[in-house]
Each structure stands twice: as structure tokens, then as C-alpha cells.
Structure 1
Amino acid sequence: MSQDESTELHVTHGMAQLEPGLRLHYVTAGEGDRTVVLLHGFPQTWWEWRRVIPLLVQAGHRVVAPDYRGAGHSSRPAAGYDKRTMAGDIHRLLREHLQIQHPVAMVGHDIGLMVAYAYAEMFREEVSHLVVMDAPLPGTEVFDRLRVDPRVWHFAFHGTRDVPEMLVAGRERQYLQLFYNARIFDPSAINEEDLDIYASAYSAAGAMRAGFELYRAFDQDAQENRSALERNGKLKIPILAIFGAISNTGSGVVEMMHEVGEDVTGLEIPRAAHWIAEENPEKLGAALRQFLDR
């Protein structure tokens, strides 16, 4: 990457053994007790945040960016892809493995949005800020409306048992490239090197199956989110709902978060579609730093 010295990416890799058969890979950067947790989407890994991490570190934050269950270098178990279980994974990574005891800011994009919300809902006293980026949340009216939109055809395709594995096997790079290009403003934001990194991750044994299981858990996620909202009420922490200027979700992400949160601010990122952290990292980084200073 051609970056000036102030935004050069310096991260430390680690592996957390959470239980037999479940390890989470993560990277950390920066120091201090202002911790930001970055949760990627599908079909990506922690690498999604490569251009945002230096901006947050420069602003004095400590960053933790995991590969969630099933992605990247983390384990790919057969089950556990409901978002509350995945949030529990992240909680154990932060509290037990990294020994972080202070409240953290959760930032989630796409599937990571769903995990970040589950984390904030389950561990309310342990989250200071929540940032959600460009995806619908199961259990909301916005999700029910968007899941039947032809532009999100992949929800049904990925949710079908066995068929997507059969059709994508051996064509992972081609499928990922199609997937990115269908939801992008700036095609250069995910270049050939980046595509190689993602394709290598999702060509690994079981990786695409694990990715599809994320979608197969949506009905369970919806039921659990509705029950939690009825039981515990809306979130009270500050929430920033971000969407790309030409994304499929659009301002629906703001409407969606008003369903589950009391203090919601919406933000449109220009020159971006769905892959905001890669298409316009400067605008995103500036927005995160301003919001996290609240």
C-alpha cells in the first residue's frame, strides 16, 4: 500500500483459544483505554479495516479487529452462527483473552453490524458507543422490507441449504469479485491484491459454508432480537448509523436503528456504496473520531 507515514498500517496479530475447536484470530493496534472494536462483514475479514485502523490509532484509540467465527484465520465450526453466540465469542475475546475491562465502542459493518448490535444489547453496561454500517438488522421492519428486495437476492441464495456451496465451489474468486462489484462505487477500492487476500480466505475448506451459515441464522436472529427488545427496551447509548450514498440499504439503516435505539444519528458517506471502509476511509475515519469523542 502506498501510504504516508502517518497512516501506515501497523498491527499485531493474535489468536485466542476460546474453547476446544474454537479459536479467534484478531489484530490489535494502538494503546490506551479508548478501545474500538471493528467487526467486518461478509465476504470479508479484518482486512476490510486496513485503511481505517491507522486513522483511529492516530486519534488515540486502541483498535481490536477480529475475524469473527467462520471467517479469515478463525475457526469454522459447524454451528453457532446466530449473532448472539458470535457476540459472546467477541465478549470472551475482549474480557477473558485481552483482559479489557473498560467499556468499548463497537463498530460493525454488514454481518458485523448484526454482531455489534447483539453485543451492545447483551452487554449494555460494557459498550459506550455503537456504530452500524450499511446492512439491515434482523427483527426490524426495515429488515423484513429489504429481504424481499431483488437487489438483495443473495439473502435467499445464501440461506438455501447446500445449493450455494455446490455452485460456488472452485469459483470462490469469481463469486467474490461479482459480489463486490455489484455493490461498489469505486471498483479500485478493492484491488487485485485485496481480492487475492479475500479469495484465499474464502477458498479455505469450510469457509464459504461458514459464510452461508451466517444467513441461515437470520430467522433465529430476528426472533432473538425481537424478544430482547420486548424484554429490555431500546438501547440508550449513542448510535451512529452510516450508509453509503448509493447503497441498497440507504437511509433505511437510520430508520432501522430508531426501532431499537433512543439516541440515533444518521450519516451518509459520499463516494461510497456498500464497502464504505474501503471506498472512503478518510470520511469514515473522520466521522468515527468525531462520534467517539461524544
Structure 2
Amino acid sequence: MPQTSATGPTHRLVPSPAGRTHLVEQGDGPLVLLLHGFPESWYAWRHQLPALAAAGYRAVAVDVRGYGRSSRPAAVDSYRMRELVEDNVAVVRALGERSAVVVGHDWGASIAATSALLRPEVFRAVGLLSVPYTPPGGPRPGEVFARMGGDEEFYVSYFQEPGRAEAEIEPDVRGWLAGFYAALSADTMPEAGAPDPHFVGPGGRLRDRFPVGRLPHWLDEADLDVFAGEFERTGMTGALNRYRNMDRDWEDLTGFAGAPVTQPSLFIGGGLDASTTWLADAIEAFPATLPGLAASHILEGCGHFPQQERPDETNRLLIEWLAGLR
């Protein structure tokens, strides 16, 4: 079994229901599983791995199925939430552990929360970045998203048809990613009143509203090369298939409608992030939906990527919370 380096990260492949899961680990101590969002990879946690290791934790960042060096099943319905939860359980077991703290960003936050909800015996605490927990249930997601935007199309709906978003992104993965990251980052996002990059105009493309020629401060050319290089190799379908299972998840999780996540929890969001502002009601509902919440932090002047836009502050908040769990 490969050993975790005390000074640097170690890459591994472990068996999982997906086939294989690629992970990067650093440090020794209680296991902290880190789940990235769209469209990223384990590399989104590059600032957290050494910080958590130095604080006495075994930090493990995975490539979620469909991304990077992890398996990419062909069937669209292989990317439903229940499948992703079982991948996480398999990673914990493959690492020789019985339980873990799970921390996620963006889609990773939703996967982390659902992992804690479905498998509380494995995931003893949950940290959520950017996307607050909303219990299963309510209206069918596809119907909700279809009604948003009037004449414009919400990006989640735009992603639904297999091949459609791929046709936009894959001819210029690097340029598309640069624009996407810039559109959602505090220092490069469109000014207030500009066309919203979360929506597609009639006959248009999502990237039509992305900033051009500017990278956010947290992303240099070498970092962009890492993110883009993975998607240029794998394509975008595995990542986009997560969006194509939201109605299946709604059906799969009907037995958990309205259920809270009761484990110790933490939320960190950006004050300028649409995920935080649009879902303000979900944050206000935390006393009922996250009764084990230790703290909810809104980082003023921060966009959608707190662990990359504000790594030092995010690391401090994570480590303080983890220390309280002990």
C-alpha cells in the first residue's frame, strides 16, 4: 500500500463502484475527504491538502467519477447521487478507515451533504462550501429550472441535453474554463446590471456572457493548464452528467424528503456568489436543516470559489472547526 508522504501529496487509484477513483492524499491523522465541484478536479483543493496535513489530518482530495483519472461510466444514470455516495464510502474503506469528515464545494457540497444523510455511520461530520444544504423533496428540479429566466435559459437546463454543452465547450476547453472561472470569481465577474452569465440568451451560448482576456487572481496560467488539461483529455460528458441526474435524484431520495443532516456541520460561502444569494432562504433554514451546525461564514467580497479565492481564511475556518470535532 502506498504511504502518504509527510512533505508532499501522494496520488493513488482505489477500487470503487465507479470502477476506480483517483485520489490525492497528504498527512496523517483523522480522515478528511475533500470533494470538488464543476468544472474542477482534485486540484481545486491544492491549498487545503498541505494546510490540513500540517494541522494533523489525513487530507484526501478525490476526482469525482467522470473527472480526471477516475472512471467515467458511459451510462448517464451512472452519475446519480446515490452512486456518488457509494464511491465515497468505497474510498473511506479503501483507505482502511471506518469513518471520515466529508467536505465539499459546489456539486461536491451537495454530494457531501447527501453522503452524510444516507451514510451517517461513515460520514461523522460535513463541511459545505458555496452551496448550502437543501433537504430532498419539493417540486421536481427540471420543472423549476425550466421556469427560470423567462426568454432566457438557465444554465442547468442548458446542460440537460447530452452533447449540447459539450459542443460549445470542447472545441476550446481552456478558453471556456477561463471564462467560466472568471464569470464566478469576485474580482472578474460581470458588473452589476450586466447580462447574467448563469443564463443563455435566445440562440446563444453560455460563454457569450463570460469575461474575456482576464483571469481571476487565484488562477494563473499554470493552474489553468492543470484544469484544462484534464478536460481536454477526458471530455466534458462525465462532469455534465451530474446535472442530467437531478430529476433521478429527486425520485431516488423521496424517502428522505425534508430530512435534516444532523451531524456536526460547517458552511462557508462567498458574499458575491449567486449560490449564496439565490439560496439565502436555505441558509436561514439551517437551524432546522443542519441542527449540528457549528458556524455559517459568509466571506464578504468573495465569489464562488472560497477555497481558492480565499485559501488562508478558508483553511483557518476549516481547521478551527475540525479541532472542535476532536
Tell me the TM-score range normalised by the shorter chain.
0.7 to 0.9
Would you say 1:171 and 2:172 are equivalent positions? Answer: yes
SS of 2:8's partner is: coil
**TM-aligned CA deviation for residue 204 of structure 1:** 1.7
- Which residue is equivalent to 2:242? 214
Structure 1: gaps of 5 or more residues: 1-7
Which consecutive residues of structure 2, in runs of 5 or more, have no partner in the other structure? 1-5, 188-215
Q: For the structure 1 residues 257 and 108, does the alpha-carbon distance in structure 2 shift closer, same or farther, using more than 3 Å as the test?
A: farther
Pairing of 1:234-245 with structure 2 (within 5 A): 234-245=260-271
Residue type of the partner of 1:236?
A: T
Q: Which piece of structure 1 moves more, 46-55 or 127-136?
A: 127-136
- Cα deviation 1:34-65 (Å, max 9, x = unaligned): 11110001110010011111111111111111
The aligned residue for residue 194 of structure 1 is 223
2:118 alignment partner in structure 1: 122
Where does residue 272 of structure 1 map in the other structure? 302
* Pair 1:35 & 2:64 matched: no
CA RMSD of aligned residues (A): 2.6
Task: Find the residue that maps to 2:262 and give its secondary structure.
Answer: strand
1:50 match: 46
Q: Is the 8 A contact 1:36 1:106 kept in 2?
A: yes
Are the equivalent residues in 2 in contact too, given 1:9–1:51 (CA < 8 A)?
no
User: 1:136 touches 1:143 (CA, 8 Å); kept in 2?
Assistant: no
- From 253, 263, 266, the counterpart of 2:292: 263
Counterparts in 2 of 1:142 and 1:277: CA distance versus 1, 3 Å: farther
- Number of residue pairs matched by the alignment: 280
The CA deviation string for residues 218-263 of structure 1, in whole angstroms up to 9 with x for no partner, is 1122333442245xx4221112122112100225252365563322
Q: Give the alignment's TM-score, normalised by structure 2.
A: 0.78
1:83 to 81, 84, 87: 81
Shift in alpha-carbon separation, 1:140–1:281, aligned structure 2, 3 A: farther
Q: Are 2:81 and 2:114, in contact at CA under 8 Å, matched by a contact in 1?
A: yes
Moved more, 124-133 or 39-48: 124-133
Of structures 1 and 2, the larger Rg is shown by 2
How far apart are 1:82 and its partner, in Å?
A: 1.0
2:47 and 2:308 in contact (8 A); partners too = yes
- Cα gap change, 1:149/1:174 in structure 2, threshold over 3 Å: closer, same or farther? farther
Q: Among 279, 290, 294, which residue is 2:320 paired with?
A: 290
Say whether the 8 Å CA contact 2:103–2:128 is kept in structure 1.
Answer: yes
Letter in 2 for 1:180: Y
**Residue identity matched to 1:88:** E
| Deviation readout 1:249-284 (Å, 9 max, x if unpaired) | 225252365563322331112342001111001110
Deviates more, 1:34-43 or 1:148-157: 148-157
